[in-house]
């Protein structure tokens, strides 16, 4: 059963073109219909490589019974956040106001049809109650009942949301002075959030948070110009970047950083790769090389650029937006390994090096398979195996090439082939800074 999304060009919207849900795009037709019929708007925002967007689609939007409830009680609008970042920004901010916490995708918001002000919002909702979340159909019925019976309360709440939005638009009186205090305030807060054992600034799920790390580097630079040294701030930066580059959140065979880690140790990632994440991380790792050479950082930079150019470069120029986490409806299946498969590809010496470096001698860390994650430093591994450093380096590169070639025979994840100008600018900046830090001959 096709719906009106079949006429769109967005990969994300087209993924929902066969849903039994009567989807609209954001525009006059949908907004006028909601206003005329006085039905609340169910606004669903996501993007084509979003794993939990796929899960919610499979569980609810492809389900005929769920779609019937949605179509009966709501005007359903589907938005690609990468086509409409303006709408995403507005309703992510509204989510934070309503829930006192950060949002994410899919973003599921319920709007008053007359004002478009949200009165309830969430992210992913399961079809049946779990994860301490209500089942989606039960939620739909409860929200519809609330909309019908508590209009005065919803209007009061909407007025508060609107007032908060107005207050957020008030500019700073003296932004230049405030910026210095804001930088120091950010440094103080990040110091309290910092997790010294594994790096990063939160518990799981842990994001690389390039903007937080860059604030620490800016603070370090500011302090240095004023004759002082923020050694603790620099240690936060270097430890976090080292843990990320060693972790499973980095693709050690194909290059590129995944979206986030589901655990505190950066071991098990959410396998989606975003262009703008990687562009920012290229800039950060390039900045870190100012403090001295680091083979781990240099490899992460060069391999990430190789991945971007190899897998994301469009034929007519520019880079694609993202790579999906799933292949054949299995998250991470393209990237993970069984021990027997590794032994089939590698000879004894090469396997021994990979096993020791990436923890294949430890218990499986993802669905009875292994995600590559450096459990120890390179120097310690080489010493333990009693290899000459140059020989070990050659063996590592040979083994990674063999495993990468073997992995290419698997069914790859989908690529979102949108070209987002801002993300390309971030990435090109990262590549140029990498070339400056490492030399053009290392970038290729």
Q: Please report whether residue 372 resides in a domain.
A: no
Domain finish residue from 138, 168, 198? 168
Q: Please report whether residue 191 resides in a domain.
A: yes
Q: Are residues 140 and 182 in the same domain?
A: no
1 band by pLDDT with thresholds 50, 70 and 90: low
- What the block records as the tokens of 119 is 């009165």
Give the pTM: 0.75
Q: Are residues 183 and 198 in the same domain?
A: yes
Q: Are residues 194 and 105 in the same domain?
A: no
Pairs from 81-88 (Cβ < 8 Å, separation ≥ 24): 81/45, 81/46, 81/47, 81/105, 81/107, 82/10, 82/12, 82/47, 82/321, 82/416, 82/418, 82/420, 83/10, 83/12, 83/418, 84/26, 84/45, 87/26, 87/45, 88/45
Q: What is the pLDDT of residue 351?
A: 96
Domain finish residue from 168, 184, 218? 168
> Above 60 in pLDDT, residue 169?
no
Q: Are residues 138 and 189 in the same domain?
A: no
Q: Are residues 162 and 179 in the same domain?
A: no
Domain finish residue from 151, 168, 185? 168
> Above 70 in pLDDT, residue 100?
yes
Q: Are residues 114 and 237 in the same domain?
A: no
Distance between CA atoms of residues 219 and 230, nearest Å: 8
Tally of CB atoms within 10 A around 428: 15
User: What phi, psi does 322 have (nearest 5°)?
Assistant: -165, 165
Average pLDDT over residues 330-346: 95
> Above 70 in pLDDT, residue 225?
yes
pLDDT tens, 259-291?
A: 999 999 999 999 999 999 999 999 999 999 988
Residue (of 134, 310, 102, 301) closest to 207 by Cα position? 102
Q: Are residues 147 and 243 in the same domain?
A: no
Average pLDDT over residues 241-257: 97
Q: Any idea what the CATH number is for the domain that residue 122 is in?
A: 3.40.30.10
- Of 91-100, 222-231, 305-314, the range with the highest mean pLDDT is 305-314
Number of domains in the chain: 2
Q: Any idea what the CATH number is for the domain that residue 191 is in?
A: 1.50.10.10
Q: Please report whether residue 339 resides in a domain.
A: no
Q: Are residues 430 and 290 in the same domain?
A: yes
Q: Please report whether residue 369 resides in a domain.
A: no
Q: Are residues 306 and 219 in the same domain?
A: yes
Q: Please report whether residue 28 resides in a domain.
A: yes
Q: Are residues 129 and 241 in the same domain?
A: no
Q: Please report whether residue 401 resides in a domain.
A: no
186 band by pLDDT with thresholds 50, 70 and 90: confident
Q: Are residues 207 and 270 in the same domain?
A: yes
pLDDT tens, 380-401?
A: 999 999 999 999 999 999 999 9
Q: Are residues 162 and 205 in the same domain?
A: no
Q: What is the pLDDT of residue 179?
A: 65
- Counting residues of the chain whose pLDDT is more than 70, the rounded percentage is 95
Domain range for 31 is: 4-168
Q: What is the pLDDT of residue 183?
A: 82
Average pLDDT over residues 62-77: 97
Q: Please report whether residue 398 resides in a domain.
A: no
Q: Please report whether residue 365 resides in a domain.
A: no
């Amino acid at each position: 059963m096709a719906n009106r999304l079949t006429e769109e060009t967005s990969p994300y919207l087209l993924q929902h073109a066969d849903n039994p849900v009567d989807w609209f795009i954001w525009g006059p037709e949908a907004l006028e219909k909601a206003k005329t019929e006085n039905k609340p708007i169910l606004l669903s925002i996501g993007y084509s490589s979003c794993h939990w967007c796929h899960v919610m689609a499979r569980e609810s939007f492809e389900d005929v019974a769920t779609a019937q409830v949605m179509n009966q009680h709501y005007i359903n609008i589907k938005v690609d956040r990468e086509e409409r970042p303006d709408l995403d920004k507005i309703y992510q901010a509204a989510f934070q106001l309503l829930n006192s916490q950060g949002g994410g995708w899919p973003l599921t918001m319920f709007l008053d049809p007359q004002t478009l002000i949200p009165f309830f919002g969430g992210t992913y909702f399961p079809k049946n109650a779990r994860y301490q979340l209500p089942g989606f159909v039960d939620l739909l019925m409860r929200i519809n009942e609330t909309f019908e019976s508590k209009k005065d309360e919803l209007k009061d709440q909407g007025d508060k949301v609107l007032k908060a939005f107005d207050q957020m638009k008030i500019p700073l009186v003296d932004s230049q002075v405030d910026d210095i205090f804001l930088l120091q305030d950010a440094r103080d807060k990040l110091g309290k959030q910092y997790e010294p054992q594994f790096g990063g600034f939160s518990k799981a799920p842990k994001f690389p948070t390039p903007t937080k790390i860059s604030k620490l580097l800016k603070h370090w630079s500011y302090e240095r110009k004023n004759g002082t040294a923020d050694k603790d701030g620099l240690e936060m930066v270097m430890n976090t970047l080292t843990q990320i580059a060693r972790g499973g959140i980095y693709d050690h065979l194909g290059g590129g950083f995944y979206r986030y880690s589901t655990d505190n140790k950066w071991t098990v990632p959410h396998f989606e790769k975003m262009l703008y994440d990687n562009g920012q991380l290229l800039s950060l790792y390039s900045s870190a090389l100012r403090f001295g050479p680091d083979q781990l950082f240099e490899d992460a930079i060069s391999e990430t650029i190789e991945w971007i150019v190899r897998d994301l470069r469009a034929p007519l120029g520019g880079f694609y937006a993202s790579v999906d986490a799933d292949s054949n409806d299995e998250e991470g299946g393209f990237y993970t390994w069984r021990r027997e498969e590794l032994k089939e590809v590698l000879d004894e010496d090469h396997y021994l090096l990979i096993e020791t470096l990436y923890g294949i001698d430890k218990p499986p860390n993802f669905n009875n398979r292994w995600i590559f994650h450096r459990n120890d430093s390179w120097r310690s591994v080489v010493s333990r195996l009693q290899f000459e450093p140059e020989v070990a380096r050659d063996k590592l590169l040979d083994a990674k090439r063999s495993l990468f070639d073997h992995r290419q025979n698997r069914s790859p994840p989908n690529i979102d082939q949108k070209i987002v100008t801002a993300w390309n600018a971030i990435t090109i900046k990262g590549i140029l800074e990498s070339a400056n830090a490492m030399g053009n001959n290392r970038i290729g």
